[in-house]
Amino acid sequence: MGRTLSEKVWDEHVVRSSEGEPDLLYIDLHLIHEVTSPQAFDGLRLNGRTVRRPDLTLATEDHNVPTLDWDKPIADPVSKTQVDTLRKNAADFGVRLHPLGDVEQGIVHVVGPQLGLTQPGMTIVCGDSHTSTHGAFGAIAFGIGTSEVEHVLATQTLMQAKPKTMAVTINGSLPAGVTAKDMVLTLIAHTGTGGGQGYIVEYRGQAIEELSMEGRMTVCNMSIEWGAKAGLIAPDQTTFDYIEGRPEAPSGDEWDAAVAHWSSLVTDADALFDKEIVLDASEMTPFVTWGTNPGQGVPLGASVPFPEQYDNAEDRIAAEKALEYMGLEAGTPMREVKVDTVFVGSCTNGRIEDLRLAAEIIEGHTVDADTRLLVVPGSVRVRLQAQEEGLDKIFIAAGAEWRGAGCSMCLGMNPDTLQPGERSASTSNRNFEGRQGKGGRTHLVSIPVAAATAIRGTLSSPADLTPATTGSN
């Protein structure tokens, strides 16, 4: 019988397997950041161990770095300690680090693909749950805890039980103005936040094939939000074109050998999945969340749901609680929800295509007088590329704040946070209570919805905008 894509990649990485024990998997790339690595390095020191493969390890500073005044000493003491510790650990153990101020600094999941380090058929781990992003290239990529970080540092392997397999097939084409973000939010609302628990998911079908690499990363990024262990997409010409010529991509004969192998990484026609979900992209519309988990979403054209409409008591109670926290009244059209802050950024939607799309919509418009728009590039490279294209000027002219690279308001570990009761439309991936700041209320949205919302001050799509009055060409 044939094998699925994820089974092929898994099998290629088994160092040792023994009946009744988890497989020992080899790890091709280990990404590190300042928040989840300090105790792992300390554990190595206490046991007199070293990093087995510093050449398969990469560190960046992203989670709690400031996006303003990044050339000055970090003001927050905990953040400063964590960053300083990462720098010392990287130096002591010979790990390549891209610190604040470096041209390759940025969110770990933006930096890996951008450097060409993320390639098909790899195993990639990081002490961060959104490591699933790298699955867009046909890699098995997932988040791990600090003890596992130490295990990978010391051995370049991980003990892992083999997950079940699931296929998510998305047929048809996305309508104009509907994005990868809307696709994955629709999927999560369909499955619930636990729907992927225990599975490695392969996304496939026409709508997935038609996505750019960046769109595919947006979809895989949110795999963890419906509970999947990892999500991946078979590599194809789009994938190869994206990687070719990047700093760490193979070249010459090595490139040919790599592409020949990568081309074999597809699910065999007779392979079986443990579970399958089929959706139709042509029916999808701009999608936004109303609640406090990524599964609590509705089309932008719909209204805040009534808790009574849920059959199951648990969902009903969750909805009541969410509405109370979010300060929303059931039945209110989503388009009437007023937003204080719009956040464009994160490893979900902080890449160059995202900023181009946002700028295209915003150009010639002005940000609503009562709304703040924060644009945070996912990496310094993205920031520089955007500046080269003049996108920063468009944002600034519209009244937005143009920031330095990092995770920023995605998790509010740096100074970029919501105030209690403040409402955001955010292109990030989590709308949990307090995620963007204590008492903050988050609506997850796509780039077009974020841009249109910033202009109108209420949840909106570009279709709601009156044509730009100035500066448009």
Partner 1 sequence: MDAFTTHTGVGVPLRRSNVDTDQIIPAVYLKRVTRDGFEDGLFSAWRNDPTFVLNDPSYAGGSVLVAGPDFGTGSSREHAVWALQNYGFKVVISARFADIFRGNSGKAGLLAAQVDEKVIQRLWDYLADQPGASITVDLETRTVRAGEGPDAIEDSFDIDDYTRWRLLEGLDDIGITLGHADDIDSYEATRPTWKPATIKA
Contact set with partner 1 (CB under 8 A): 15-16, 24, 26, 28-29, 38-39, 42-43, 46-47, 49, 52, 54-58, 78, 81-82, 85, 94, 96, 116-117, 119, 122, 147, 150-151, 154-157, 159, 248-250, 254-255, 257-258, 261
Question: Which run of H or E residues covers position 217?
Answer: helix 213-221
> Is residue 380 near ligand SF4 by the rule CB under 6 A?
no
The closest alpha carbon to 440, from 428, 456, 453, 455, belongs to 428
Residue 449 interacting entry, from partner 1, ligand SF4, none, C-beta within 5 to 8 Å by type: none
Dihedral sign (CA 103, 214, 339, 307) = negative
The Cα 207–Cα 360 span in angstroms is: 23
Looking at the Cβ atoms of 85 and 171, the one nearer to partner 1 is: 85
Looking at the Cβ atoms of 254 and 276, the one nearer to partner 1 is: 254
Shortest Å distance, C-beta 32 to partner 1: 10
Label residue 278 left, alpha or beta by phi (over 0 means left) and psi (-120 to 50 means alpha).
beta
> Is residue 174 near ligand SF4 by the rule CB under 6 A?
no
The Cα 301–Cα 298 span in angstroms is: 8
Query: Which residue type is seen at 27?
Result: I
Looking at the Cβ atoms of 23 and 354, the one nearer to ligand SF4 is: 354
Start-to-end C-alpha separation, the chain: 57
Other beta carbons within 10 angstroms of residue 244's beta carbon come to 14
Question: Which run of H or E residues covers position 373?
Answer: strand 372-375
Residue 429 interacting entry, from ligand SF4, partner 1, none, C-beta within 5 to 8 Å by type: ligand SF4
- Give me the helices (H) in 271-312, please: none
Question: Which run of H or E residues covers position 231?
Answer: strand 230-232
Shortest Å distance, C-beta 52 to partner 1: 8
Q: Give residue for tokens 């990363």.
A: 217
The Cα 444–Cα 427 span in angstroms is: 6
Contact call for residues 452 and 461 (beta carbons, < 8 A): yes
Label residue 168 left, alpha or beta by phi (over 0 means left) and psi (-120 to 50 means alpha).
beta
Residue 332 interacting entry, from ligand SF4, partner 1, none, C-beta within 5 to 8 Å by type: none
Helices 38-46 and 146-155 cross at an angle (nearest 10°) of 50
The interface region with ligand SF4, picked from 115-123, 278-286, 356-364, 405-413 by CB under 6 A, is 405-413
Q: Which of 27, 362, 407, 447 binds ligand SF4 (CB under 6 A)?
A: 407
Phi, psi of 170 (to 5 degrees): -115, 105
Shortest Å distance, C-beta 35 to ligand SF4: 9
Query: Which residue type is seen at 251?
Result: S
Other beta carbons within 10 angstroms of residue 366's beta carbon come to 15
Instruction: Tell me the number of residues near ligand SF4 by CB under 6 A.
Output: 13
Looking at the Cβ atoms of 230 and 410, the one nearer to ligand SF4 is: 410
Looking at the Cβ atoms of 411 and 450, the one nearer to ligand SF4 is: 411
Q: Which of 107, 298, 362, 394 binds ligand SF4 (CB under 6 A)?
A: 107
> Is residue 31 near ligand SF4 by the rule CB under 6 A?
no
B/e letters for 39-68, b = 16+ CB within 10 Å, e = fewer, are ebbebbeeeeeebbbbebbbbbbbbbbbbe
Strands 23-26 and 157-160: antiparallel
Residue 150 interacting entry, from partner 1, ligand SF4, none, C-beta within 5 to 8 Å by type: partner 1
> Is residue 130 near ligand SF4 by the rule CB under 6 A?
yes
Q: Give residue for tokens 């206490």.
A: 46
Q: Which of 346, 371, 379, 461 binds ligand SF4 (CB under 6 A)?
A: 346
Q: Which of 8, 13, 30, 63 binds ligand SF4 (CB under 6 A)?
A: 63
Residue 248 interacting entry, from partner 1, ligand SF4, none, C-beta within 5 to 8 Å by type: partner 1
Q: Which of 188, 217, 375, 410 binds ligand SF4 (CB under 6 A)?
A: 410
The interface region with ligand SF4, picked from 97-105, 173-181, 334-342, 407-415 by CB under 6 A, is 407-415
Question: How crowded is the C-beta side of 102, counted as CA atoms within 13 Å?
Answer: 16
Shortest Å distance, C-beta 41 to partner 1: 9
Shortest Å distance, C-beta 409 to ligand SF4: 9
Looking at the Cβ atoms of 154 and 277, the one nearer to partner 1 is: 154
> Is residue 109 near ligand SF4 by the rule CB under 6 A?
yes
Residue 410 interacting entry, from ligand SF4, partner 1, none, C-beta within 5 to 8 Å by type: ligand SF4
Looking at the Cβ atoms of 63 and 229, the one nearer to ligand SF4 is: 63
Q: Which of 4, 429, 442, 458 binds ligand SF4 (CB under 6 A)?
A: 429
- Residue 131 buriedness (CB in 10 A; 0-12 / 13-18 / 19+): buried
Would you tell me which residues interact with ligand SF4 (CB under 6 A)? 62-63, 107, 109, 128, 130, 346-347, 407, 410-411, 428-429
